[in-house]
């Protein structure tokens, strides 16, 4: 799995999850989504920037009809959540009566979802579910229902597979943890 140690900016990271393990977890989430949304046409709302890698692999495995849109929010500064969500690119589609699947890279504090879910719910969709690649239950600050989690991880700072450290590391196929 990649290099034994990498450096991004001023921090060292060691290998944590291989691309193969990530792919297995995505296969499982996709299989559940395919079963649960058979005969329906969900709207996948991908949260940028980190969610792009997971969304790409997940949606290649989704076998039904669907639509895909993107929103962009920011809530991180360096290695920690700022606690505030800044909406950079909002949702322009009408979601009333639609099945929405919000695609996230990681759910840690839950701040992003705590901000996004009420906004989406106010537009009266038929349903809203969250599909996230990674989940850090030890970091969660808000009660959330999370039905499509690919992998639960400890409360460590990780990079790779869409996750970054001040802009670097998103392109790594494996996930690394701060050394």
Torsion of CA 56, 57, 58, 62, to 10 degrees: 90
* Enzyme catalytic residues: 108
CA nearest neighbour of 75 among 85, 90, 63: 85
Strands 127-135 and 67-77: unpaired
């Amino acid at each position: 799995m990649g290099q034994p140690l990498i450096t991004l900016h001023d921090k060292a990271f060691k290998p944590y999850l291989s691309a193969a393990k990530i792919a297995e977890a995505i296969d499982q989430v996709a299989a559940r989504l395919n079963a649960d949304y058979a005969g329906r046409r969900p709207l996948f709302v991908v949260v940028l920037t980190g969610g792009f890698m997971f969304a790409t692999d997940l949606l290649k495995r989704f076998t039904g009809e669907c639509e895909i849109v993107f929103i962009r929010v920011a809530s991180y500064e360096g290695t920690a959540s700022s606690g505030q969500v800044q909406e950079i690119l909002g949702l322009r589609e009408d979601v009333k009566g639609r099945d929405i699947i919000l695609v996230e890279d990681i759910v840690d504090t839950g701040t992003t979802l705590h901000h996004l879910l009420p906004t989406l719910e106010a537009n009266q969709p038929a349903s809203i579910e969250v599909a996230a690649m990674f989940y850090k239950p030890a970091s969660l600050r808000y009660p959330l229902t999370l039905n499509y989690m690919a992998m639960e991880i400890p409360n460590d700072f990780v990079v790779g597979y869409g996750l970054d450290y001040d802009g670097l590391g998103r392109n790594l196929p494996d996930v690394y943890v701060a050394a």
